[in-house]
A = this chain, B = another copy of it.
Amino acid sequence: MAGRPKTKSETSAKYEQRKLEVLRAAARTFNRLGFHIATLDDVAEELGVTKPALYYYAKSKDEILFACGQLALDALQGALETSGEEELSGLDRLTRFFRLYAAIICEDFGRCLVLSEPRDLATRSRKANVSGRRALNLAVRDMIRDGIEDGSIRPCDERVLAIALFDAFNGLGRWFDPKGALELPAIIDRYLDIFIGGIAAR
């Protein structure tokens, strides 16, 4: 009947695919208008359907926002594993990670993650979201600590550095425009250059 409960464990691939389209339309709409200003009618319009159709794939606006953020967090978790694999210095791993981070954050779901605040979510979703964010933060702190130990990173307060990096790169998700003058890789290079080398002349 409702199609959603679907106790038949394997929800069809088609359903999952369509759900992803729904979430992407939602993310784009939230990013364009802001989560609170965007209505589900706006989201539906972006996708070319009417509002109630969305409720076939999610049961609240909150759940949609959460799912979008979760997709981004999953991608970032993947980036974390990718950058940690090889035997690199802490600084190199940090650099690799933030390259991937920047790329993800400039995609639909990544932007949605950084543009939304945990407090926009209901209690349950919020907890999961915050713990995902915290995991990333801790992993980055670890990289920094490793880098300080292996001598690739100048001794510093790893909490503060981690936050500064995240805040600076998150900003990218706010203002980066694919149609702007600078290509994303060029911007990333400059960001990393600023952080790695510092701004003071030698």
Contacts and interface: CB of A to CB of B under 8 A. Distances in A.
Interface of A: 33-34, 36-37, 91, 117, 119-120, 147, 151-154, 156-157, 160-161, 163-164, 166-168, 170-172, 174-175, 182, 187, 190-191, 193-202
B194 A152 contact: no
> How many copies of this kind of chain does the complex include?
2
A122 B200 CA distance: 40
Nearest to A150: B201
A40 B154 CA distance: 48
Contact of A198 (B33, B37, B196): B196
B36 A160 contact: no
A187 B157 CA distance: 9
Contacts of A163: 171, 175
A37 B34 contact: no
Given A164-B168, A191-B164, A197 B154 contact: yes
Contact of A37 (B36, B152, B161): B36
Contacts of A33: 119
A200 B91 contact: yes
Contact of A199 (B117, B161, B171): B161
